[in-house]
Amino acid sequence: MSTYFEKNRLIIRNGNSQVWIEPWGESSLRVRMTAQPQMDMNDWALTESVKETEVSYRTETVDTTDPWYKSEEHKQYHTTGVNHYLTNGKLTAKVDHEGVISFFNQRGELLTQEYWRNRNRINRYCVPLRVDARELKCHVGSTDYELFARFEAFDDEKIFGMGQYQEKSLDKKGAFLELCHRNSQASVPFYVSSRGYGFLWNNPAVGTVAFGTNKTEWYAKSTKKLDYFITAGDTPAEIERHYADATGHAPRIPDYALGYWQCKLRYRNQEEILSVAREHIRRGMKMDAIVIDFFHWTRQGDFKFEPRDWHDPQAMVDELKSMGIETVVSVWPTIDEKSENFGEMASRGMLVGADRGNGIHMTWMGNTIFYDATNPEAQEFVWEKCRENYYSYGIRCFWLDEAEPEYGPYDFDNIRYYAGPALQVTNIYPKMYAKGFYEGLKKAGETDILSLVRCAWAGSQKYGVLTWSGDIHSSFRSMREQLQAGLNMGMAGIPWWTSDIGGFLGGDISDPHFRELLVRWFQWGAFCPVFRMHGERSPWYEREEEYINGVRQLTSGQDNEVWSFGEDNYKILKGFVDMRYRIRDYVRATMDDSSESGSPVMRPVFYDFYQDKQAWNVEDEYMFGSQLLVAPVMEEGARERRVYLPEGAEWTDAYTKQVYKGGQWVTVPAPIEIIPVFLRDNCKLEIYI
C-alpha cells in the first residue's frame, strides 16, 4: 500500500485498488474507490461546478512500533510510519500509516472515522474479525462489485435526513434503511450529523444502510465503485448550503405554488373541475391550483385528454386562469401495450427493459411498461407529447406520478435501463423523470418551473421537484409519520414537500373520526411548503363499469372540497385557507431564501437553535421558515398541546397572545379550530384574527 498526493488529490493505492480523496467545494471532500485500473467517472448527484478552493497537504512521521517491542532491547524492531493530512477549509481528512481514513473539523475534533476490525492492522485493532472498512467484492466474471463501506458509531450522534421513510423517528440513529424507492418511500441518501458534518452516499444502486450502535454500514448489491461526499460546517445551515452547492439549488418556486391547491381522486370531467373552482371562488376563497388526476387520458401512454369528458381543454384552462387558478395535469410513465405510442417507443429503445421473462411492469387498468426516463431520447419524446397535448393549452405544471417507478413486483435484478442495470442505477429514475420535464419547460420559455413528483433522489431539487409522500393511510399515526418524513426530506436537501391532506387511502367524509383527522391535517398543511388537499375518500361512488373505445374508465371517491366535511368544519378550514394568503409574503420570502441558501422550508427545531441541546431531541414540532414554530396536533381528541420553546428567543403564542421566554416546555390550549403556532421575537404575522 502507498499513499501520496498528486494533482490536488490524496491517493491510497494497493495494486489495482485506488482511493481518491479530493476537494469538492467549500469545506467538502469527495472520496472514491475502485478496484479497476481506471476510475468510473459517473458523477451521479454531484453535478454542479463547485467553488474552487485552496487545499493544504502535510505529512507527519509517527512511531508505529508494536507495544511488545517498545523496549530498548528490541530496538531493531522499532518502526515508523507516515500519516497524511488533506485540509479543505473546515474539513481535514487524515489517512494514517495503515490507510485508515478519519475526518476532523477545523478545531481538530473527530467527525467520523472508518471502521476497521482487521488483524493485519496490528497497531490499531488486534482482533481477528477480518472486517475492512472498504470492500469491493467482485461478482465473478464481471466488472461489477458488491460494496460495503463501514464507519465507527458514536453514542452522542444524531442523524437527520436520508429522505422519506414511513416510520415514527426523526432521528435515524439506530435505523436500518433500504436504499431504493417504493410508493411513499424516497431514498435520498444525504444526512446531517449532530457531530457537525453532512454525508452523501453518492450511489444510485439498490442497497441498505444501518446506522447501528456498533457501526454504520452502507451496502450496495451491485456497483462499479465507492463514492461519497462529506462536508463540515459550524451550523446545520452551513452544511446544507455546501450540499446544495454540490448537488444543485432548488430554483425559484412559481407564485402559483404558494397558496392553496385543490385536488381529489378524481375529477372525472371538465364540468366537474370547473364547477368546483367556480364554487370555491363564489364562497370567497382563493385557490392557486387545481389538479386533474390520472385516467383523464385516452389510454396510458397516449399523453392526451379523452375528448368525450374533456371536450374543450383550452376553454377550461382559460376559464381557470381567469379565476387566478393554475391547471395541473397528472402524467404517468406507464405505456400501455395498446397505446398509440407503444410501438414507436419500443422500437426506439425508450422503454425499460427486462433481462428475462415478461417485461410487463403493471397490469392495473391495462398491461403497461414504464418508459425509460434515464434515456435522453425518451425524456424528449414524452415531453414533446405533453407539450403538444397539454402545454399548448397553457398547462405548465405537471404531476409526475408513479415516479419511483412502482414496479409490481420490485424485481430489480430483472430490470435494465438505458443508464445500466437497475441494481446499479434505479434510484436516479425519479430525478431523470423530472429532468425531462424541467428541460422541456425551460426550452419552451418557462422560468419558474415546478413538477409535483411522487419520489426524489439526491439532486432532484435542482429540477424544480415538489415531492409528496405518496399513497399514505388516513390515520393519526400516518399523520405523525408524515411529519418526520417531511422534515427528513428537507434535511436531505429536498425543500419543496407536501402530503395528501387527510391521507390518501381511506377517509369516509361522513365519519366524525375522519373529520377530526382532516381538520387537524388541514391545519398542519397550511404550514407546509405546499398546501394541497388530496385523497381517495372511500368508499368510492358506486357506478357501473364504463368503457370508452374499449378503455375502462375509472370512477372516483367522495367529495373532497373544503365544504365537504360539515358546516362547522368548513368554517375552520376556510379560516386556514384565508390565513395562508395572509402569510403569503412570508412564504414567498422563505421559499426564496431556501433557493438561495439550500435551507429547508420546514425544518427541525435544532436547525435554527443548534446551540440548544434540548432542541436536538424535539421531534413533534418544527420551524416553518425562521420565524414560525409550528406544533401540529396529532392525537385524536387532544385539546391542548405540550410544546418546547427553544432557548435564544422570545415566543408569542399566536392564539392566546401570551409571551414566553425560550428554553422551556409549555402546555397551551389547542381546541379543534387551533393549531399551536408561536411567533419568534418581533414577528408580526397575523395567524389568527
Neighbours of 61 (CB within 10 A): 10
Q: How confident is the model over 186-222, as pLDDT tens digits?
A: 999 999 999 999 999 999 999 999 999 999 999 999 9
Nearest Cα neighbor of 294 from 448, 441, 454 is: 454
Q: Which fold has domain 604-680?
A: Immunoglobulin-like (2.60.40)
Domain ranges (residues) in the chain: 2-247, 255-333+379-406+428-597, 604-680
Residue 409: asked if its preceding bond is cis (omega within 30°), the reply is yes
Q: Which residues contact 685 (CB under 8 A, 6 or more apart)?
A: 582, 583, 586, 627, 628, 654, 679
Let me know if 293 is a catalytic residue.
no
Q: Which fold has domain 255-333+379-406+428-597?
A: TIM Barrel (3.20.20)
223, 205 Cβ separation under 8 angstroms:
yes
Cell 428537507, residue located: 490
The superfamily (CATH) of domain 2-247 is glycosyl hydrolase (family 31) (2.60.40.1760)
Weakest-pLDDT range from 55-64, 311-320, 659-668: 55-64
Going 517 to 519 to 522 to 526, the CA torsion angle's sign is negative
Cell 387551533, residue located: 674
Facing residues of 209 across strands? 177, 218
Residue 415: half-sphere exposure toward Cβ, Cα within 13 Å: 28
Q: How confident is the model over 452-510, as pLDDT tens digits?
A: 999 999 999 999 999 999 999 999 999 999 999 999 999 999 999 999 999 999 999 99
How far apart are alpha carbons 181 and 179 in whole angstroms? 7
Q: CA 592 from chain center: how many Å?
A: 19
Residue 603: half-sphere exposure toward Cβ, Cα within 13 Å: 26
Neighbours of 341 (CB within 10 A): 19
Assess whether the region 2-247 and the region 604-680 belong to the same CATH fold: yes
How far apart are alpha carbons 231 and 234 in whole angstroms? 11
Phi and psi at residue 253, to the nearest 5°: -75, 140
Question: How does residue 661 score in pLDDT terms, banded at 50, 70 and 90?
Answer: very high
Let me know if 635 is a catalytic residue.
no
pLDDT, residue 66, reads 74
How far apart are alpha carbons 233 and 193 in whole angstroms? 10
Look up residue 431 and give its three cell numbers: 430525478
287, 280 Cβ separation under 8 angstroms:
yes
| Element (DSSP H or E) covering residue 457 | none
Nearest Cα neighbor of 378 from 406, 419, 337, 415 is: 419
Catalytic residue (choose from 43, 384, 413, 471): 471
Catalytic residue (choose from 402, 404, 612, 653): 404
Q: How confident is the model over 328-377, as pLDDT tens digits?
A: 999 999 999 999 999 999 999 999 999 998 899 999 999 999 999 999 99
Nearest Cα neighbor of 434 from 293, 251, 165, 259 is: 251
677, 631 Cβ separation under 8 angstroms:
yes
Catalytic residue (choose from 26, 240, 302, 401): 401
How far apart are alpha carbons 674 and 328 in whole angstroms? 30
Q: What is the mean pLDDT of residues 283-301?
A: 97
Let me know if 439 is a catalytic residue.
no
Weakest-pLDDT range from 14-23, 130-139, 542-551: 542-551
Phi and psi at residue 485, to the nearest 5°: -65, -45
Helix (H, G, I), strand (E, B) or coil at 314: helix
pTM of the model: 0.97
pLDDT, residue 122, reads 46
